[in-house]
Amino acid sequence: MTAAPLCKPHAGRVAWITGSTSGIGWAVARQLAAEGAAIAMHGSAEASAATDARLAELQALGVAARYYPLDLRDAQAIAPLARRIAAELGTVDILVNNAGIQHVESVLSFPQSQWDALMAVNLSAPFHSIQACTPAMLERGWGRIINMASVSGLVGVAHKPAYVASKHGLLGLTKSVALELATTPVTCNAICPGWVLTPLVQAQIEALAQREQLEEAAARARLLGAKQPSQAFVTAEQVAAMVGFLAGDNAAQVRGAQWTMDGGFTAA
C-alpha cells in the first residue's frame, strides 16, 4: 500500500467504531472519516433519520460509510458483524471499542441484571471484537485497536461498581493484547477520559441545576468539582483527535498505553 497523503493519513483504511451514533463515538467517526478512513458506524438501535443524516455527513467527506445496528450483549453476533463489515466495506484496520453503558447504585442493591449488562457491553464486547478483527489485521500486516476506557479504570468510584470494574478490566485486556501483539504491526491502546461534555453529561448538568436550583455554570462547576483540577471538560473532539493519533503510523510504538485525558485528576 502506498503512503497516504499527510492530510488523509487513514486513506484506504476501514474503521469500525462501536457506539458511534453520538458523543465520543460520533466525534471519532467524523475525525477518522475526515482523515480518509471508511467508517462502519454502530449503534444498538435500527437505523433512523438521524442515523441517515450522519451517514450522509460522513459520505460528504468523500469516504464510504455504513451503519450496523447490534446489541453488543449478544456475544455470538459480534464476529458475524465483523465479517459483514469486511464483506461490505473492507477488512477492519482500525477497531475502536467505544460503546459503553452505565448504572449508578450502591453495591448493596446493585441489580445482577445491570451488572451482567455492563460487563457484556463494556468488557466482553471489546474482547469479542478484538478476537474477531485481529487475525485479519495480522494477515494484512497492519492494525490499530483502541479501547475507550475511563479514569474510572484507574481509580475507584462509589456507587459505580460495575462500571469501574469493567473499565479496570478493559485496561487489563488492553495491556494483555498489547503484549501478545508486541512484535507485530498491530497495536492495542486505551484512552482514559475524565468528564467529557457529551449529551449524556449535559443532561446530568441540567438535572443537577434543576434539583439544586443552580445556574447552569454553577452546576457544571459542581459536577467537575475536585475530580477535574483544570475545572474544564474534555471535549469529544479532543478525544477523537487522540484516537486519530493512536490510529496513525506515528503511534507504531505506543503499545499498551492507558492515555489519560482528565484535566489533571490522576496527577494528584
Half-sphere exposure of 70 (CA within 13 A, CB side): 28
**Which pLDDT belongs to residue 63?**
98
C-alpha cell at 133: 478483527
Cα separation, 25 vs 21, whole angstroms: 7
CB atoms within 10 A of CB 202: 13
pLDDT (mean) for 75-95: 98
Q: DSSP for 228-246?
A: -TT-SPBPHHHHHHHHHHH
- pLDDT surpasses 60 at 230: yes
- pLDDT surpasses 90 at 5: no
More confident residue, 7 or 154: 154
- pLDDT surpasses 80 at 260: yes
Residue 264 neighbours by CB under 8 Å, 6+ apart:
228, 229, 230
Q: Looking at the domain covering 14-194+234-260, what would its CATH class be? A: alpha beta
Cell match 436550583: residue? Answer: 213
Phi, psi of 148 (to 5 degrees): -90, 100
**Which pLDDT belongs to residue 22?**
94
Cα separation, 39 vs 163, whole angstroms: 27
Would you place residue 94 in the very low, low, confident or very high pLDDT band (cuts 50, 70, 90)?
very high
- pLDDT surpasses 80 at 156: yes
Show me where the domains of the chain are located: 14-194+234-260, 197-233
The catalytic residue positions are 163
Which segments of 98-254 are extended strands (E)? 143-148, 186-193
- The rounded mean pLDDT for the chain is 95
Cα separation, 236 vs 177, whole angstroms: 26
Cα-based distances in Å from 40 to 55, 90, 101: 10, 10, 20
Span 185-218, pLDDT tens digits: 999 999 999 999 888 788 889 988 999 999 999 9
pLDDT (mean) for 96-118: 96
pLDDT (mean) for 136-164: 97
Angle between helices 125-140 and 78-88 (to 10 degrees): 40
pLDDT above 70 covers a percentage of the chain that reads 98
Cα-based distances in Å from 250 to 96, 114, 187, 254: 18, 39, 12, 9
Half-sphere exposure of 30 (CA within 13 A, CB side): 17
C-alpha cell at 50: 438521524
Cα separation, 197 vs 203, whole angstroms: 10
Span 119-129, pLDDT tens digits: 999 999 999 99
**Which pLDDT belongs to residue 111?**
98
pLDDT (mean) for 160-187: 98
Phi, psi of 261 (to 5 degrees): -135, 80
Residue 62: is it exposed, middle or buried by C-beta count within 10 angstroms (0-12/13-18/19+)?
Answer: exposed
Cα separation, 26 vs 19, whole angstroms: 8
- pLDDT surpasses 60 at 6: no
Cα separation, 192 vs 183, whole angstroms: 25
